[in-house]
Structure 1
């Protein structure tokens, strides 16, 4: 392990200890405040007893004033405890973020989504190159809590981009890498919430809320809801100061308000259903958006994501406050009193309507762009953690040259790196070698690093220069009982897909591992040969891994467009040793005879 990476791991360990200590201290403070609340409650009881026993009017007045003090202090302590509880929730998420980074760098699984939902055997390369699913590239890179972030990362791993976009993304990822210590707070503010909840809120804001709030757009209703607090307070004061008959008027008003609220209950519930209980979630998202707003961004890619001219974080906090008020209806007693006195639910709906008209479009856009920032942060975090990876050079002409390229999913302590380059014009490179010598791994190494490069990310190599290709692979072909598809038919379907793509996109790059396994050796050779000839005709660069040494002889007929490489074995005292290094020329040494001998079969 590189010394620089060891320092990064130690840095995460220090952060874990620091946040753990903060959480413990905050918990102690909350416990102290709990004891103080008990003390204030006992003090209130004491003052009440003194009030009952006191006969002195002046003393009674003093005690009555003292009765208010514990109540006021109690309210402040409750608010302080609520704030500390929120602080602990945030710090727990921050601790999770640091712990997760430490786990990944020490070989444990990433706690974020592995992208299994994006797996597809029909995709030109993602299944063969282990892009999605357990032990995949997505599982290594992903730091997205939102669905939009996961979708954007998956899209950039699975779809072809342009050179200009890739360069702009590289610039953005490098800029975020320089701010990496600030991104952990951003991630902590988004982690720990149900990702489906924010998607429901976005859908409601985009498509439903305007129609759902039609029932509060009447001018009379708005005027009356605005007036009703003054009416209720006036009736209470009149009942206390003038005549008890006003209590009856107030009771009648209670009944009317409650009935009105019941009649509109189904419409109010539609508005509340999606938003209810989401105040903390919205505050967390607002804090994350505030971070994006407070940075002095320079890269054009990031600046294009900040398309709002107003501070959206403030608008989301405004929505959060409305929802927090709306949540009062969850307490039947409190909600019932507030609706009877103030038509509370209608008041919240009117506030929500005003907010919707002024702020919803900017908020929807900002919530969508959170996923873009998460995706960039995922790649920037990888760039920060993997200190021996480099950002590739994007060539504008046909090129692929790399040194010390390794597979990013193989532990660095056992990973073997290779050098490789294409000629100035397309060639079909035939890679022969023994079983387990490294042919398949090398093809996947090249392909998966190309995927990283085209996402704008650093690659697992010392240097890499490449142009933009459309990657097509043929590696893990299997039958399907559900679709009544044999292995051979599945192979033919895959070959047809590649041939169609080669014709449509002249910048296609093909990786093939042992073609036509589902047929006899003669047809396999002839089919592989004609396929290679087709690639040569279409001027399509390819790496073709095979056990069939006859294919290496194609260099005789096509000396300018066919190259031979191999992975071999060394046999020492009957023991096989692999160095996993790519070498020029066809393979001369194979291990089948040795492996068969180990199970009792001897070849002459």
Structure 2
């Protein structure tokens, strides 16, 4: 039995490659069988050439068998694609274990510059945490995952953890879900699908629930009469024209619906499999069970309903096959029959489909969280507490750092405490701030964090670490920073936040900066906020002398034998060694 993620993915690849080899053999046999049937039908037409009835009989039987073989071949081809997706999925996971995630979308489109923390902690973009975390296979799932990262919500964390833990243990289920979602990339969003379903103008009369059936039975009688020499070719041709005439009366509206159907067909082809995966799963956690319940609101299963609709859409699409379209509409009123049931489905299920799409998006997002937990068995799920300590972690480190090189830290901060962190350039201050920030985001999402222990009293996060000026908005760097600080002050008047600041008021002179920074910290402390500020201004550390809730910490740097060394370990106190002058000389920028 596989004991590590690496072993699991390697074993999965071996298994699926063997299955793929067998699948290819079946596909080849299926192709040969279709070829044999085609040659046999051609021989039958040649052998009975001159006998119109026998030739027609051979063609009818041959076409019926050929359609059956096409359907069977399509199923085999789908299974082959599924296996290929499963192999590719496991190969990408092996690369991800080596911290190579370039194959996964980076979510750059979800970045928000005015968000509470998104821009400061590299949530989105190349090399971001979103790219490291993302395993979604649907557009809605990708969007839902981004929403979870940005939600800043602190409710039901333990329920979220149970869902992530449970799904992380269902590795095969997770992979099947992702593979089914990946087989076909839908060009139409679910939002567009819902719009098309709910805004459709209905045109098929109710009579069409029975007329095509009656017309089909009459067509069988006409064919039987023709083969029994009761009627001749002219009567058969007249019936052919009548069928086309009935269909032709609605052809413009049928064409419109057919165009809509072609846009949404792939969505339901994909989502029927995903709904079935969710229905068949044996979930225990409340959050996952609630998702199952949302799609189980009718006597029929949602997957069956979606599958039937997908079949109707596919059946209507067959009209684009010229010969089939002509004869099926002439003798079966094919288009009208399919359009009637498509419209009936829209009336009954279009609103439910919206809920199904939402459930699939949520499951796709949770699937990513569960895969992250599975890939990091050494991580720990935060222990949620209501004690005074807001965050207490041991061997705490940023998940995007190489574990072979990263230096871990022990860290504890209590409610209403504010830490001032000083240290030399490149000593690890900003990395530590991002470690704490991302740890809070991960904990709030229900994810395990990169630590051996993590006690946590849930709190929302707000940061100011990466302010930029704006030429388009005609804003200076300093004014942009003031706006961000005002944003923080306004936020903490309405809710409780963990505040993380990196070198505030950088856009003004040293004296003004020192005075302003001190007053800002005093304001935050007086509001009973909790947080951390990193600074190079050692005078700011004097605040701890007058405010007992302010504590000083630092990251150290040493110059040994004209070389700079960092231990990246947080310590109590104020930094004594700075390195700007040394680096300027070392890089021969100054003498």
Q: How does 1:469-508 map to 2 (within 5 A)?
A: 469-505=459-495, 507-508=496-497
Moved more, 197-206 or 560-569: 197-206
1:143 is the counterpart of 2:138: no
- 1:14 corresponding residue in structure 2: 11
1:265 is the counterpart of 2:251: yes
1:181 is the counterpart of 2:188: no
Instruction: Choose which of 105, 116, 129 in structure 1 pairs with 2:121.
Output: 129
- 1:323 corresponding residue in structure 2: 313
Q: How does 1:42-441 map to 2 (within 5 A)?
A: 42-44=39-41, 77-109=69-101, 111-163=103-155, 165-197=156-188, 199=190, 202-204=193-195, 207-209=198-200, 212=201, 214-216=202-204, 218-244=205-231, 247-276=233-262, 279=265, 281-305=267-291, 306-307=293-294, 308-309=296-297, 310=299, 311-398=301-388, 399-423=390-414, 425-441=415-431
Displacement of 1:195 in angstroms is: 4.1
- 1:572 corresponding residue in structure 2: 560
Cα deviation per residue 1:551-593 (whole Å; 9 max; x = unaligned)?
Answer: 11111122x1110000011222111111111111000111112
Cα deviation per residue 1:311-361 (whole Å; 9 max; x = unaligned)?
Answer: 111111111211121111121221122112222111001122333344444
Give, in whole Å, the separation in 2 of the partners of 1:65 and 1:208.
45
Displacement of 1:534 in angstroms is: 0.6
What RMSD, in angstroms, separates the aligned Cα atoms of the two structures?
2.8
Moved more, 466-475 or 255-264: 255-264
Equivalent residue of 2:574, what SS?
Answer: coil
Give, in whole Å, the separation in 2 of the partners of 1:269 and 1:64.
30
73 and 331 in structure 1: CA distance in 2 versus 1, 3 angstrom threshold: closer
CA contact 1:167–1:394 (8 Å) conserved in 2: yes
Instruction: Choose which of 29, 32, 46 in structure 1 pairs with 2:29.
Output: 32
Give, in whole Å, the separation in 2 of the partners of 1:253 and 1:464.
78
When normalised by structure 1's length, the TM-score is 0.89
Displacement of 1:167 in angstroms is: 1.5
600 and 173 in structure 1: CA distance in 2 versus 1, 3 angstrom threshold: closer
Equivalent pairs counted in the alignment come to 583
Cα deviation per residue 1:454-485 (whole Å; 9 max; x = unaligned)?
Answer: 01111111111122222111111111111111
Displacement of 1:602 in angstroms is: 6.2
CA contact 2:110–2:124 (8 Å) conserved in 1: yes
When normalised by structure 2's length, the TM-score is 0.91
- 1:464 corresponding residue in structure 2: 454
Moved more, 511-520 or 431-440: 511-520
CA contact 1:100–1:110 (8 Å) conserved in 2: no
Equivalent residue of 1:504, what SS?
Answer: coil
Give, in whole Å, the separation in 2 of the partners of 1:461 and 1:126.
22
Gaps of 5+ in 1: 54-60
Give, in whole Å, the separation in 2 of the partners of 1:298 and 1:166.
17
Gaps of 5+ in 2: none
Moved more, 487-496 or 165-174: 165-174
